[in-house]
Structure formats: C-alpha cells, structure tokens
Amino acid sequence: MKLKIGTRKSTLALWQAELVSDKLNAIGVETELVEIESFGDKEQDIPIHKLGDKGVFTKALDDVLIQEEVDLAVHSLKDVPTVLLGDLELAAVLERGNPKDVLVKPKEEKGEIHRVIATGSIRRTAFWKNRFPRDEVVGLRGNVPTRIQKVDNNDWFGAVFAYAGLERIGYENRISQVLDWMIPAPSQGAIGVVSRKDTKHQEIFDKLNHSDTRTCVDIERAFLNELEAGCSSPVGAHAYIKNGILYFVGAVLALDGSRRMDIEREIPVTEATPAKGHEWANLLKKDGAVELLTHRANDD
C-alpha cells in the first residue's frame, strides 16, 4: 500500500508534507508526494482577503482528494476553512509548533521616525494598528523566502510572520521579536491532514493525531466558525492545555484596529469540547462582535 499525499509546492508546504510522510514511513506506510499549485499561490499580486475566503490555499487540494487522485492532503491548519466540502473531513492534527507571531526586521535596520510594517494578514494588520495606530501597514505576499527577501530589500521597520513557519524551514535566526501580545490565528502552528470521509485509512491517520492539539484547535476553529468569520478575518484565538486546565484567549477587532473585543476563559480539560468555542464566540456576538466584522466587510 502506498498513500499519495497532496501538498502545495511552497518550501513550507513541502516541509510539512515531508513530516507527515516521515511519520507514516515510520509506521511502515509507503508514501508519495503529489505537488499541486493552489489558486492562492498563482495569484501573488492580489491581497489574500481580496481572493475570497473559501479555501484560497486549499481548494485545489480538495479537488484532487475528491477525485481520488490523492489519499490525503497536508495543510497549515490555519488555512483550512472551518467548514469543509461535504465529502471531506479533518482526519488528523499533528502536535502543534510554536503558535506565536513574530517580527522580522531587515538585516540593515532603518530609522523609526515613520515605521512601516508589512503583512498580508488582516488579523495581523488589525492587531498591529490596535497597538501602534500611527504606524503604516503595507501588504506582503509570497512564500516565506520571498517575503524575507522583500523585508531586506525594502525600507520597512519589519514584517510579521508565523514563528512555526520560520522555524520549520530554517529561518528562526531571522526572528527579531516574539509578539506575545498578538493573539494568533485559530490553529496557527498546527498541521492538518484532510481526507475523504469514506477513507479506508482512518486508523492510520489516527496515529498522526495529537490529542491535546486537536482539542485546542477544534475549540479555536469552532470560535471562528460561530463568528461566521473566515481565515482572513481580524479574529484571534488561542487555546493551550497545562496541568489539566485548558486556557483560552480570543479577540475580534475592527479592520483598522480602532475597536477590539476580548474574551479569556479557563476550564478543566475534561470539559473542553468544540461547543465551548461556539459558546465563547456567542458571548462576543451578544456584545456586538458581528458588527465589527461586518464593518470590516463593508470597508472592503
């Protein structure tokens, strides 16, 4: 038996697919990588949120899964919509890497009289403007090496990246600052495996699943889903487990960072189900979170 693994072609995507491949090989399962170019990878000159929010980086892989050209697809889980196509499901989540956002500064740092920050993320833009309203934020697209190169070639203060992505492909030394105050995207740092619901290989995929990570990301994704917000929305959510307690922080922001709503909770891990993510998002909805998100959509 040989399982075909669908993956995007970027350096980071291939690293993550290779990790899944290695784990499957270690339990005696042969694998083959099948590289697919996603719509989001083809359209490099358009801001991500302008491309739509329905699987910009995942739909091409969904299609080959449904057509049974591959047996599983590997994704950065934060890119995976909270509602999958009817024939597909989230089969496994690997142990999470560092979920934090980080600042990468140019090799030759520029002055700070007028600071320019680069990011292609609406969430990161909103958090940054909330904390530093006078800074200018500009768009940034491309794979990790391309974005790093743009940081070094432009007159910017820096750019925001995911810690896990930099660490995985050898750019950890470029991290200038860990942005502990920025709540990560739901599922950031986690690698997801998507398969068909009728797969015959679920017992194999179960061996890839990391229980604590799955518990946390299921709650984060439920929080995002309840807000009816997509991967490109100004929503942060992060859960982690320590000593039998699940700790959760979530936030919804206006696009320009001018307004923000937060929630923090801690519960016994025995009570940690996706329903909690829905419950906590509903609390913010009652206080007007949907209006913040709607305001964002109208501004676009």
pLDDT at 296 over 50: no
pTM of the model: 0.90
Whether 233 contacts 125, CB under 8 Å: no
Nearest to 132 by CA among 103, 152, 174: 103
Give 59-86 pLDDT, tens digit per residue.
Answer: 999 999 999 999 999 999 999 999 998 8
Domains of the chain: 1-95+190-209 (3.40.190.10), 101-178 (3.40.190.10), 210-300 (3.30.160.40)
Give the H or E element holding residue 126. helix 122-131
Compute, in degrees rounded to 10, the torsion defined by CA atoms 265, 223, 227, 180: 70
Whether 263 contacts 285, CB under 8 Å: no
pLDDT at 55 over 70: no
* Residues noted as catalytic: 78-79, 123-124, 141, 147, 231
Of the pLDDT bands very low, low, confident and very high (cuts 50, 70, 90), residue 95 is very high
Of the pLDDT bands very low, low, confident and very high (cuts 50, 70, 90), residue 111 is low
3-state SS assignment for residue 33? strand
Given this model, what pLDDT does residue 51 score? Answer: 44
Given this model, what pLDDT does residue 86 score? Answer: 85
Q: How far is CA 254 from CA 29, 49, 184, 263, in A?
A: 47, 15, 16, 15
| Mean pLDDT calculated for residue range 1-6 | 95
